Copies of this chain bind each other. A is one copy, B any other.
Amino acid sequence: MSERGRAMRAAVARPPYDIMRAAHAELHVRDLAVARDFYVEQLGMIVAAETADALYLRGWEERLHHSLVLRAAAEAAAAHLAFRVREEADLERLADAFTARGVESRWVEDELGQGPGLRVQDPAGFPLEFFHAMEPAESQLRRFDLQRGAPVLRFDHFNLHVTDVETVAADWFRHGFRCSEYIETDASPGRLTGAWLLRKPTVHDVGLTLGRGPRLHHLGFWVAEPMGVLRACDQLAASGHVACIERGPGRHGVSNAFFVYLRDPDGHRIELYSCDYYTGDPDHEPLRWSASDPRCRSFWGTRAPDEWYEESSILLDLDGSPVELHDAPADERSEIMA
């Protein structure tokens, strides 16, 4: 194992709370009807609830009320990113831990379909929510007769645009996240241009990508198999939505997953993602990729479009104001093209 890998593993803390997994996000969209068409008619997600200004969605496998909230707003933005904790008491433990670190937290009690949420703007600037209770839902995993598109089975991960991967990763290690893979420049010492961090035993719950930030790079949703990713592309192109296909389909080197990136009508990026691997053993060794290896993001070497590196969703802080952005010293492109 590399020195970097050893250091990252040593940094993983055992906090008194248990963040189980990335669970849902709230996105602001400018036109709810247009967003509904994309997520419900085109991607085929299940409508869990609908209010005057919001739409609550989930995938076909999921057993909790929702994994995506779309809320009508004047500007597109990522309003909060939510993680599920193992038990209700973990929320108080988290609140205490944030207080001890001087991070303000707030309780949110009135979210549709779920119990209390603890909100913070984390040191990297991301609006996070932690919750445990949510209304159960019956899984529709075997309703192949009703499913459309890929279909989208469940929420999988957040990917975050950050200006300093090392620092942000260190913060997630404090929450007990481990690293499965990372991309590093070949300089000495190397700089991280990407890191994949997990609590549930898949490749990641949180991915970090070096770039202008803090911003939400994409939300990842799980699809059962590569053919589902292809089917979603076929369907989107056939229905006149070819412009929403941004990158792929293809195989990632990092994660080994088969993927496609889409852009929703507000520019939020959605990844359909399948076929990663098991990471549950605690001594799972972080895998290093050189930032100059063309296969690390696209195993087949296909160059991503520039907007994939440059564009992301802006974030809102706890008061609903946009989070200030900063340029990163570089992004992955320079290394691949070097």
A residues with a Cβ closer than 8 A to B are: 20-21, 61, 63-64, 84, 86-87, 136, 139, 141-146, 153-154, 200-201, 222, 224-227, 230-231, 233-239, 242-243, 245, 249-251, 253, 256, 258, 274-275, 277-278, 280-285, 287, 294-295, 299-303, 305
Given A225-B227, A249-B300, 13 other A-B residues pairs in contact with their CB atoms under 8 A: A84-B281, A136-B283, A139-B277, A142-B238, A143-B238, A144-B237, A200-B278, A201-B201, A201-B280, A236-B300, A237-B301, A242-B294, A303-B305
Kindly report which residue of chain B lies nearest to residue A283, judged by CB atoms: B136
| B-side contacts of A305, CB under 8 Å | 303
Bound-complex Cα distance A233 to B154 (A): 23
B201 x A146 contact (CB < 8 A): no
Q: Are A242 and B63 also in contact (CB < 8 A) when A142-B256, A256-B141, A280-B20 are? A: no
B285 x A136 contact (CB < 8 A): yes
B277 x A142 contact (CB < 8 A): no
| B-side contacts of A258, CB under 8 Å | 230
B226 x A142 contact (CB < 8 A): no
B295 x A237 contact (CB < 8 A): yes
- CB < 8 Å neighbour of A243 from B146, B281, B301: B301
- CB < 8 Å neighbour of A61 from B236, B242, B250, B277: B277
- CB < 8 Å neighbour of A144 from B224, B231, B282, B294: B231
A234 x B154 contact (CB < 8 A): no
| B-side contacts of A283, CB under 8 Å | 136
User: Can you sample 27 A-B contacts with CB below 8 Å?
Assistant: A20-B281, A61-B277, A63-B281, A87-B282, A142-B238, A142-B299, A143-B238, A144-B234, A145-B236, A145-B238, A154-B278, A224-B275, A225-B225, A225-B226, A225-B274, A227-B227, A233-B251, A233-B299, A237-B251, A237-B299, A237-B301, A242-B294, A242-B295, A245-B301, A249-B249, A249-B250, A303-B305
Bound-complex Cα distance A61 to B255 (A): 12
Q: How far is the CB of A78 from chain B (nearest CB, A)?
A: 23
Q: How far is the CB of A113 from chain B (nearest CB, A)?
A: 15
Closest 9 CB pairs of A and B: A145-B239, A144-B234, A242-B301, A144-B238, A145-B238, A225-B225, A227-B227, A233-B300, A144-B235
